[in-house]
Amino acid sequence: MKIAVIGAGVAGSYLGGMLYKRGHEITIFESNKKEMHWPVCAWGASRHMLEYFSNKAGLNFNNYIFHVGRRLRMGLPNQKEEFLDLDGLVTYNKKQWESDLLAGITVEYGINCDKKTFPRDKYDYILDCTGFHRRFLPKPEEDFVIPAYEYLVENIQDINEFHVIGYKGARGYFWYFPLSKGTGFMGAGDIDRKYYGVKEFLETHPDARIIKKIGRPIRLSPPKLMEPFHDDNIIGVGESIGTVFPMLGEGIIPSLLSCEIFLQVLDENKNKKVKFDHKQYREKILKKFNYYYDVYRIIRLKMDGKLSTVKHFNLLLSMYKNMKKDEKRFGFEIDFEKMRRLVNAL
């Protein structure tokens, strides 16, 4: 089949590579010029899951690892702190990983595709992997994003571990993810656009040098609120359909999981010699990410000052049970008592 992939981020790169291996004719369209294309998301995720997807793509993930985390420090309001033991949370060379996924594939860089003018009839399917932009899909039911800025910094000598600061009312968070040789990603997402922690980090690290600054909103709306997932031969995959874990704003692994679902449906339908089953794809996506809606409700209730650990106990329990079941997917310990303290402290 002839397939166009719009966007060369994590979903577009992985899907492009896997579809190419299956013998499909793939063209990827990326709006940024090649020299300007830069992967976002702080380059941190679960080693267990990235090894799994790398193996499927024929890559050795060990070749991409920058930093293996052992303990995450989380600053909380009123000078409180929590520490999470890490089991697989790493930073990795996301730029090289995505580049290697695209080996041998035609990538048209610097092409800002528009749904109205794109030659849809020339392709069997068009995959919207444009992430936050959702350029080729209709407007969703309820979209909710948090403004965010991220900085690639160097000359950081006194911190070599993951550090997060949660804002009061769960209205955002600051992060520092170490890479290698004194470099790391530092940034903040904040609904109030104050970005606490960024200025403070630079003040306490006067030798730090900003290499790159990236401004990009983080989508928190889960798939349940991001329908429709398709429009005729256009199909959304990844963040464009809300595959971001709302509590963390993390989209790498959820996007890859949505890619896997797309490929499963595509392969099953090909074996049956039928067209892509949009209904089956929708059902699988909603089932896989069903509890993301509970997590999203917790975040919104907390932001609005309406969350009660008694009244909304079932919501919190659902989040805990589902996260605990997928503990390896997150790369850190899932402990109910710590989770309760975190929710109460924010």
- The pLDDT tens digits of the residues spanning 269-313 come to 988 889 999 999 999 999 999 999 999 999 999 999 999 989 999
Q: Please give the share of the chain, as a percent, with pLDDT higher than 90.
A: 89
Per-residue tokens: 144: 């909710």
- Give me the torsion for CA of 55, 56, 57, 58, rounded to 10°: 50
The angle, 0 to 180 degrees and rounded to 10, between the axes of the packed helices 252-271 and 278-288 is 150
- Average of pLDDT values for 232-260? 96
- Average of pLDDT values for 51-70? 98
Mean pLDDT score of the chain:
95
Confidence of residue 216 (pLDDT cuts 50, 70, 90): confident
Residue 130 predicted with pLDDT over 90: yes
Residue 201 predicted with pLDDT over 90: yes
226 and 254 Cβ atoms separated by less than 8 Å? no
Question: Is the full-model pTM beyond 0.85?
Answer: yes
Residue 176 predicted with pLDDT over 90: yes
- Average of pLDDT values for 85-93? 96
Residue 41 predicted with pLDDT over 90: no
- Average of pLDDT values for 33-61? 93
What pLDDT score was predicted for residue 220? Answer: 95
CA-derived radius of gyration, the chain: 20
Which residue, chain included where needed, has tokens 């955002």? 172
Sequence-separated (6 or more) residues with CB below 8 Å from residue 55: 61
Residue 39 predicted with pLDDT over 90: no
Q: What's the CA gap between 288 and 255, in Å, rounded?
A: 12
Residue 96 predicted with pLDDT over 90: yes
Question: Do β-strands 25-30 and 2-6 pair in parallel, antiparallel, or remain unpaired?
Answer: parallel
159 and 153 Cβ atoms separated by less than 8 Å? no
Confidence of residue 37 (pLDDT cuts 50, 70, 90): confident
Residue 34 predicted with pLDDT over 90: no
Q: Which fold, 2-345?
A: FAD/NAD(P)-binding domain (3.50.50)
* Closest to 326 measured CA to CA, from 87, 165, 93, 163: 87
HSE at residue 306, side-chain half, CA atoms within 13 A, is 6
Within 10 A of 11 (CB to CB), how many other CB atoms are there?
30
